[in-house]
Amino acid sequence: MAERIRLEKTIVTENDRLAAALAERFDDAGLLVVNLMSSPGAGKTSLLEQTARRLTGQLRMAAVDGDLATDRDARRIAEAGMPCRQINTGGGCHLNGRQVAEAVEAYDLAELDILFIENVGNLVCPASFDLGEHRRVVVSSTPEGDDKPVKYPVAFRSADCVVLNKIDLVEATDFSPASFSGFVRDVKPGVPLLELSCKTGEGLGAWLDWLRTQREAVRCRAAPSPE
């Protein structure tokens, strides 16, 4: 006799469990953890280089960087002044909780203000893998076109901040900043959108302010009340 067993159970993956453990570890250490996602070449590494050059000495920062191969990005970030551990995923198209847990062993998290996780360049899979981060940043760039938010809605929907890089190239492309911001608003109403250029430095101040604000928000939440 056939019978239907109703379950309606949300699937919890092994990565969800690892991410929850990472989130607890990050909260205990009291630092801000930012997961950066973008398509290849949008400027995640450039953004971290500029961040390192401008905030080193003010905030204690480190990074882990995911790529299929080479340690080129980690070297660039380290040369700019931010310690960075490279994770090579082989063929893997995204970082997972296990890789991040292993990579952060290199750091004393309680001695850091911000840890950046630079994900593998890919706007699809990284969005589905929580890494225990406090904030997600999606980086897009003008040569990619202004309709990326609606073509990759899962990533943009999950963003706490959208960075539009290479704004200095807008004249050389058909990119419409107004269309882009409209598409961002369609997918994630109210999300901060920061237009900047890692090349010229334009707009980087707003990015650094956003980081400082998020750092403070996480620190306030973590610190026991003085009363």
Instruction: List interacting residues with other proteins (CB under 8 A).
Output: 1-15, 93-94, 124-125, 127-129, 149-150, 153-154, 157, 183, 185-190
Give the Å distances, CA to CA, from 41 to 67, 79, 143, 165: 12, 19, 10, 10
Q: Which is nearer to other proteins, 12 or 223 (CB)?
A: 12
Query: At its nearest, how many Å lie between other proteins and the CB of residue 14?
Result: 7
Q: Which is nearer to other proteins, 190 or 226 (CB)?
A: 190
Residue 203's contacts (CB-CB under 8 Å, 6 or more residues apart) are 167, 194, 195, 196, 197
Q: Which is nearer to other proteins, 22 or 218 (CB)?
A: 22
Query: At its nearest, how many Å lie between other proteins and the CB of residue 184?
Result: 10
User: SS3 for 115?
Assistant: strand
- What does 22-71 look like in DSSP terms, one character per residue? HHHHHHHHT-EEEEEEESTTSSHHHHHHHHHHHHBTTB-EEEEEEESS-S
* 113 close to 216: Cβ distance less than 8 angstroms: no
Query: At its nearest, how many Å lie between other proteins and the CB of residue 48?
Result: 25
Q: Which is nearer to other proteins, 98 or 221 (CB)?
A: 98
Q: Which is nearer to other proteins, 189 or 226 (CB)?
A: 189
What token pair was written down for 194?
A: 């920061």
* 32 close to 214: Cβ distance less than 8 angstroms: yes
58 residue type, one letter: Q
Residue 7's contacts (CB-CB under 8 Å, 6 or more residues apart) are none
Q: Which is nearer to other proteins, 43 or 149 (CB)?
A: 149
Query: At its nearest, how many Å lie between other proteins and the CB of residue 110?
Result: 31
Query: At its nearest, how many Å lie between other proteins and the CB of residue 215?
Result: 26
Query: At its nearest, how many Å lie between other proteins and the CB of residue 220?
Result: 24
